[in-house]
Structure 1
Amino acid sequence: MKRLFSRFLPASMRKGETTIPVIRLQGPIMPGGNQFRPTLSLATTAGLIEKAFAIKEAPAVAISLNSPGGSPVQSRLIFKRIRDLAEEKNKRVLVFVEDVAASGGYMIALAGDEIIADPSSIVGSIGVVSAGFGFQELLKKIGVERRVHTAGQNKAILDPFQPEKPEDIERLKQLQLEIHETFIDMVKERRGAKLADHPDLFTGMFWTAKKGLELGLIDGLGDMRSFIKQRYGDKAKLQLISPARSLFGRKLGVFGSEAPEIAAAAAHGLADAAEERAMWSRYGL
């Protein structure tokens, strides 16, 4: 009878068992995204984070992270939401890196009280980058004239259809330096004395996790399941926190009238695929 009753208790309340909620954060970090092009942002991750920290009996929350980076703002917002809830709910945060946690991905990893990675994972890239294209010569070849009218002399700064101006580039670099300083401050605050004195630590360089461990960027090498079992015992259970199914997903395949919206979303995703591919390929992925 006692055994039967225990089956109806939450796993975290059964004798000798500990349940650790798991959040999976994967993909580039940027606002927007859709069913065909999922991305990480506070809007897309807040629900998962809240659900994981709402499990009262869990002593910790595990985060499976795989991201090449992206928006510094969204990266910091996700980081802050995790840290705020960790302090509010008094829970430990364990981050497990899969293929890569670089740039904004590493910024999110800093939310962990411990960062664990596979020896071949890529970590680091503590820097800021802006990339784009210039199309002014293409317009000349196809006989198109670009016309831009602004109120404010800097409203058309870094227009990809006009030649670059030295003063515009200098302004962009100043913005990058300020964002970089914020990133460096976060790393120093979260990693503290663990960091090695290495000249390339804050240059945007990235390393395998094996080297990252020597540099103090992570705390250990391994995988989530083995680490959790070792830390919380053989009866410890991992509970994956799944996102709620969206209204878009529920309607898909039920009403034919949404076909134009679905096609537009798919086309938008294809248009941005090259940018995302470049982010992953930078780390050999």
Structure 2
Amino acid sequence: MELSLNIAIGATIIGLVVGMLTGIFGVGGGFLMTPALMIFLNIPGPVAVGTDLTVILANSSLGMLKRRRSGTIDVKLALTIAAGSVLGVLAGSYFLELLDDAPKLIILGKEQETVQYCLLCIFMVLLVWIAGYMLFDYKRNRGKARENRLGSFAGFKVPPYLYFSSLEQPQLSVVTLLILGFFVGVLTGLIGIGGGIFLLPALVYFVGQPARKAVGTSLLLVWISSLAAVIRKTSVGHVSLLLLLFLLIGGLTGTLLGTKIGLSLTGPKIRLYFVYLVIAAVLTIGYKLCVMTF
């Protein structure tokens, strides 16, 4: 794959932005990088996805390295959720294959792939709900110094249990965490994006982890999922090494800067800025739906 100067510069800028998102919020940023590569740089879809995932793996690796002594990564919690996520990804991918032959929708005289169109709509609705809830929560708790909270899962008393030192309610049901991981994995398998963007609010509001620590835990989960995906994408030739080089130049620089910013932010500020990130995701998906519809 040959790269022009414009593509090299554009890839570096895109990598920088996504790297900062990884460092600050612990998300992969694939929901922004993949469409950006396709829309602005005309990179073929399979190559955009495969190369994007490789950048996410590198960025999250550097982000974890920078956070290793910060105490913001709960390894046991991440691995517990990841166990359910792996099964969810497999299930989501299987469901997608089953639904792929569904009859096409006719919207405004244009044929649409039923599964893709409906899933994008559902995904956007979920993101709007997340942004609205987190913004409401930020305004409700603005000015309060206390960051720790009991997550929704604290009320579920289903054995067996595990203890997590990073939580105010340290004892949580393993079943609920596996279900959370499975749900996020299904979304990832069905849509191809979404794992990271859902993890931070899920860890904060469902699990009850403080936002600063949720960023680190989310980062490890993103790393685990991207590692598995990169192995697959590389084996089928969907990674462009030249494109990857320029994305990494921007991405690793952005991750270093973003991690420094993220560690300096308070929990409420992280949640507020994350709302802006979710809004960006909504606009990206909304744009794609408009292009498909009109």
TM-score normalised by the shorter chain: which range applies?
under 0.3
Whose helix proportion is higher, 1 or 2?
A: 2
TM-score (norm 1): 0.26
Q: Which has the higher contact order (CA 8 A, sep 6+)?
A: 2
TM-score (norm 2): 0.25
- Which of the two has greater strand per residue? 1
